[in-house]
Amino acid sequence: MTLLEVKNLSISFGGLRAVDDFNISIKQGCLYGLIGPNGAGKTTVFNLLTGVYKPNEGIITLGGKNITGKKTIEINQEGIARTFQNIRLFKELSVIDNVKAGLHNHLKYSTVEGILRLPRFHKIEKEMTEQAMELLKVFDLDGEADTLAANLPYGKQRKLEIARALATKPKLLLLDEPAAGMNPNETLELMDTIRFVRDNFDMTILLIEHDMKLVSGICEELTVLNFGRVLCQGKTADVLNNPEVIKAYLGE
């Protein structure tokens, strides 16, 4: 079953065609990679998928539902969550409160209930705390639930950002260069984490990445972007052995 279908997606900035006629189809449960040189348009695609930018042309459907042009919050509620190349956490909040912020998408109480601390407020807060702790256990962060997010080591901040994204209960998780700034051991651990998330959360994952060992190690299919256009698509091994990809992306 196809989860994400993108057809003829395009956007221009000041006359520059940043993404031009982009098409992609991702099946439910797939671990898919989006690669290409710096400036190829990869993050722009993510920004289009998540409502940061509105396309000039094209259609985005998630689970058969047209989400083109919706606001970021609406797209998140429809089932797309993301992380960022430069980690974006609520660093002044604790680890558990970062995850609970994601849970607010689905577990809500009114302003009045919160101010007056009515029974529903306590019930939902208890549910959020329990669910947040379960997510933190998955990422081995439960022992640091009360730690300020800013005080976590870099690799654990990456994990927390993924945990917070999962708290929104997405169908599709977008990871923007999750291995950026990681050492080789952290990257290997990240690969295991991504596989675990896909397999145990019934998650479809689309990731941008420059670490080709990670890409070849976990991605089942790839799309290569160059100058905003699709250069090549297909099974990972086939794409990485394509002479055009080697020339344009790998620089050989």
The yes-or-no verdict on residue 31 having pLDDT over 90 is yes
* Mean pLDDT, rounded, for 136-163: 94
Domain that holds residue 246: 1-79+172-252
Among 171, 172, 176, smallest CA distance to 44 is for 176
94 and 47 in one domain?
A: no
179 and 58 in one domain?
A: yes
Q: Is 11 inside any structural domain?
A: yes
241 and 199 in one domain?
A: yes
Q: Is 84 inside any structural domain?
A: no
How high is the pLDDT of residue 192? 92
How high is the pLDDT of residue 118? 58
How high is the pLDDT of residue 204? 98
Residue that terminates a domain, selected from 120, 135, 169? 169
118 and 55 in one domain?
A: no
pLDDT tens digits, 165-201: 999 999 999 999 999 888 888 889 889 999 999 999 9
70 and 179 in one domain?
A: yes
Q: Is 247 inside any structural domain?
A: yes
pLDDT tens digits, 49-85: 999 999 999 999 999 999 999 999 999 999 999 999 8
Q: Is 210 inside any structural domain?
A: yes
Q: Is 61 inside any structural domain?
A: yes
pLDDT tens digits, 228-243: 999 999 999 999 888 8
Q: Is 214 inside any structural domain?
A: yes
User: Which residue type sits at 63?
Assistant: G
Alpha helices (H) in the chain, listed in sequence order: 42-49, 72-78, 95-103, 111-116, 119-138, 154-167, 184-200, 212-218, 236-240, 243-248
How high is the pLDDT of residue 252? 47
120 and 64 in one domain?
A: no
178 and 70 in one domain?
A: yes
Write the CATH number for 208: 3.40.50.300
115 and 2 in one domain?
A: no
pTM score, whole prediction:
0.90
CA dihedral 134, 157, 47, 214 (to 10 degrees): -90
Distance CA 24, CA 230 (A): 9
Residue that terminates a domain, selected from 144, 169, 194? 169
| Averaged pLDDT of the chain | 89
49 and 165 in one domain?
A: no
Residues 125, 129, 130, 135, CA torsion sign: positive
3 and 68 in one domain?
A: yes
Residue that terminates a domain, selected from 149, 169, 189? 169
Helix axis angle for 154-167 and 119-138, nearest 10°, is 130
165 and 186 in one domain?
A: no
Q: Degrees (nearest 5) of the Cα angle 213, 215, 221?
A: 145
Total domain count, the chain: 2
Collect all residues with Cβ–Cβ distance below 8 Å to 108 and sequence separation of at least 6: 124
240 and 186 in one domain?
A: yes
Q: Is 85 inside any structural domain?
A: no
How high is the pLDDT of residue 112? 43
